Amino acid sequence: MKLYDFKTAPNPRRVRIYLAEKGIEIPLVNVDIMQREQKTPDFLAKNPVGSIPVLELDDGTCISESIAICRYIEELHPEPPLFGRTPLEKAVTEMWLRRVELKVMLPVGQVWVHGHPLTARMLKQIPEAAELGRKRAHLGYQLLDQQLATNQFLAGDNYSVVDAVALSTIDFAAGLVGVPYDEDLKHLKRWHDTVSARPSAEA
Ligand X SMILES: N[C@@H](CCC(=O)N[C@@H](CS)C(=O)NCC(=O)O)C(=O)O
Number of residues that bind ligand X (CB under 6 A): 11
**Could you give the CA distance from residue 160 to residue 45 in angstroms, rounded to a whole number?**
32
Other CB atoms within 10 A of residue 23 CB: 10
Selected range binding ligand X among 17-25, 45-53, 79-87, 123-131, rule: CB under 6 A: 45-53
93 forms part of the interface with ligand X (CB under 6 A): no
17, 19, 51, 107: residue in contact with ligand X (rule CB under 6 A): 51
Other CB atoms within 10 A of residue 87 CB: 8
22, 53, 113, 115: residue in contact with ligand X (rule CB under 6 A): 53
66 forms part of the interface with ligand X (CB under 6 A): yes
CA distances from 64 to 6, 12, 27, 57, 174 (A): 14, 10, 16, 11, 25
160 forms part of the interface with ligand X (CB under 6 A): no
Selected range binding ligand X among 21-29, 51-59, 123-131, 151-159, rule: CB under 6 A: 51-59
Is residue 49 a contact partner of residue 34, using CB atoms and an 8 Å limit?
A: no
